Structure formats: C-alpha cells, structure tokens
Structure 1
Amino acid sequence: MSRTVSIFYHASILAVSFVCGVICFHIIGSANAESFVLYIEPRLAGDKQSIFRLVLPVIVSVGIILLLATHHFLKIFIRVTVAMRATFFGFSSVFLLQKLEAFWLYTIWWFPFQLIYCILLLVLCNLLVPAWAKRRIGKQVSGQSIMLNFIALFIIMVAEFIVISYVLP
C-alpha cells in the first residue's frame, strides 16, 4: 500500500508540475516565452549541441538534490527541484509544439528524455528522503541503489547524446 501511495504521489508531482508549465506558457505568451526558453535551454533552438550543454542541466539538478538532502531543514524542499524541472519541461514542451517544424524534435528527443530524467530524479529523491516509508528520514540507504540510479542517469545521457547527434538532423 505504501508503494502505491508513493507512486501516485510522485506521478501527481510530475503531472501537476507539467500542467503548471503549460499554463505558465499560455499566461506569458509565446513572444516572451521564447527568449526565456532559449536562455535556459539553447538546444531547443537547434544550435550546435555540445556535451557540456547536455550534461549541465542534469548535473545541476542532481547537485541541488544532493545538497538539499544533506541538511535536515532543507529536506522538505528536495522534491521542489524536480517539480521545477517538470514545470520547465511542460513550459518548453508547449514552446516546441507551437513551432510546427519542431514536432519530430519533440517526439523523438525532448519528451521521452525529459520525462525519464524527471522520473529518475524523483527516484533519487525517494532514495535520499523517502516520502512514505517505514524507515526514518536520514537512515542510511544502500549505496548500491543510489549507484544504480546514477548509472541509469549516465545511460540516459549517452542515449540522449546519440539521439541528438546521429538520429536528429
């Protein structure tokens, strides 16, 4: 029962944050949103891709999550990092879908990889600071499960680089 509640809790974080990003895009308008989206994620403009631009958003998100997990009072904000990433995911998804020529870019690259990143970051959050579990917050988690999460993040980054470099024109 505890796992089911946790899955619904994390799925609702992703869904609500994504929808909030869509609503924010419509409130701000496409003219103002384009400069914001391209400032945060210049890869969406079709610029030359670099490994640094690929790794930076993931490293920053993981770094913030690890930083928040180290302090007792900041642990309540750990899922906010993933919610903000999912909000930008929804915001930039509407931006890409509004550009008709970017449909395949969205379908092949942006949506699947950003969704997987958000899910893996939520799993990392749950490993470091469990939402509803029988163990107490702060109890040691096996390093093997955290290492598997980092390996999965690395595999997804490599797959994203392959898709961006070789599959998409």
Structure 2
Amino acid sequence: MVRSLSFIHLFIILAVGYIGGALLFREMPATGIERLITFYDTRVVKGHEAGYIRPVATAALFFLVAFALASFNKTRFLVLFFGAVKCVFFGLSSSYLLSTGAKMMAYSIWWFPFQFISCFLFLMYCAVLSPPYFMNTTLGKRRNTRALPTIIGLSVAVLAIEIVVFRFILQ
C-alpha cells in the first residue's frame, strides 16, 4: 500500500507542478519566460542552434542541489519542493513550445515524453533522498538509498536518448 501511495503522491506533485508552470506562463512577460526556459533547456528557445552541454549540466545541477539539500537535516524538507520546481519548469517550457508554434509531432515525440519521464525519475530521486511523511523510517533505522544509482542511471539514459532523438530524428 505504501509503495502505491508514493507513486500517486509523486504523480500528483508532477501534475500540479506541470499545471502550475502552464499557469505561470500566462502570467509572466515573454522576456522573463525566455530567461527561465533558457536556464532550464536552451533547446526550447533556440532549437537546433543550442548546444547539448547546457541541458546535461542543468540536469546534473538539479541532481546535485537535491543531494545537497538532502544532506542537511535543516534543508531536507526542501528536497521534494525542489522536485516540484523542476516540474514547474517542465510545464512552463511545454507551454512556451506550444505557444510558439512548435510542431505537434516534435512536441509529442521529443519534448513531452522525455521530460515527463525525466521529471518523474527526478521526483523518485527526491523521494528516496527525503521520503514523504508516510514513508519515513522508524527511529534508529537509516534510509534505504540502494535505488539511487539505478535512478541516476535511468535518468542519464533518458537524457542521452532524448538528445539523440532531438539531434538525429527531429532535424
């Protein structure tokens, strides 16, 4: 029961973050949106002219910041919030892509599925680092972090496949 609750919890965070990003898109000026999206993924704004180092560095930065937040007891509660921030960027970038006239085929093959999977994997990473209240360990037990290398490996594989799809299939 607890395992299914955690997946439902993560999907709710993902959905609310995505919708929050879409609503944020409606309220922000275009220059502010482009600056935020350029930080998250330059390819959304610049297309094929953008390099591939920046998306990889941004993904690594998200994982490192979440790990740093989980390392200290005073900031551990911010880990899932930081995962939700990534979901907001996902919704904001999706709204920007659709509003700028991106081809629906490119959006449905490249952006949405890969970002959805990578956001969910990142939320799983955050939940393993700092479990929600209903998954907390009892006193004296340590957190089970055996899943972290698997989640990181899957995230790297999804990012690599996304770059290949963007580079070679969507030209």
Which whole-Å CA distance do the structure 2 matches of 1:41 and 1:65 have between them?
Answer: 18
In structure 2, the CA distance between the partners of 1:6 and 1:158, relative to structure 1 (3 Å rule), is same
Q: Report the Cα offset of residue 39 of structure 1.
A: 5.1
Which whole-Å CA distance do the structure 1 matches of 2:156 and 2:165 have between them?
Answer: 14
Cα deviation, 1:48-82, whole Å, max 9, x if unaligned, reads: 24331231121011001110111011110001111
* Correspondence 1:139 to 2:146: no
Pairing 1:69-84 to 2, within 5 Å after superposition: 69-84=70-85
In structure 2, the CA distance between the partners of 1:142 and 1:80, relative to structure 1 (3 Å rule), is closer
> Which sits farther off after the overlay, 94-103 or 17-26?
94-103
In structure 2, the CA distance between the partners of 1:30 and 1:67, relative to structure 1 (3 Å rule), is same
TM-score by length of 1: 0.88
Q: Report the Cα offset of residue 90 of structure 1.
A: 0.6
In structure 2, the CA distance between the partners of 1:129 and 1:36, relative to structure 1 (3 Å rule), is closer
Q: Report the Cα offset of residue 99 of structure 1.
A: 1.8
Task: Give the length in aligned residue pairs.
Answer: 168
In structure 2, the CA distance between the partners of 1:39 and 1:117, relative to structure 1 (3 Å rule), is closer
> Which residue identity does 2:24 align to in structure 1?
C
> Which residue identity does 2:9 align to in structure 1?
Y
Question: Matched residue of 2:73: which SS?
Answer: coil
Aligned to 1:33: 33
In structure 2, the CA distance between the partners of 1:9 and 1:31, relative to structure 1 (3 Å rule), is same
Q: Report the Cα offset of residue 142 of structure 1.
A: 4.4
The alignment yields a C-alpha RMSD, in angstroms, of 2.1
Aligned identity (percent) is 25
Cα deviation, 1:79-107, whole Å, max 9, x if unaligned, reads: 11111111011111111111224433321
In structure 2, the CA distance between the partners of 1:48 and 1:7, relative to structure 1 (3 Å rule), is same
Which whole-Å CA distance do the structure 1 matches of 2:82 and 2:75 have between them?
Answer: 11
Pairing 1:56-67 to 2, within 5 Å after superposition: 56-67=57-68
Aligned to 1:108: 109
Paired residues of 2:110 and 2:166 also in contact (CA < 8 A): yes
Paired residues of 2:22 and 2:92 also in contact (CA < 8 A): yes
Pairing 1:4-19 to 2, within 5 Å after superposition: 4-19=4-19
Aligned to 2:99: 98
Specify every segment of 5 or more residues in structure 1 that has no aligned partner in the other structure, as ranges: none
* Correspondence 1:168 to 2:160: no
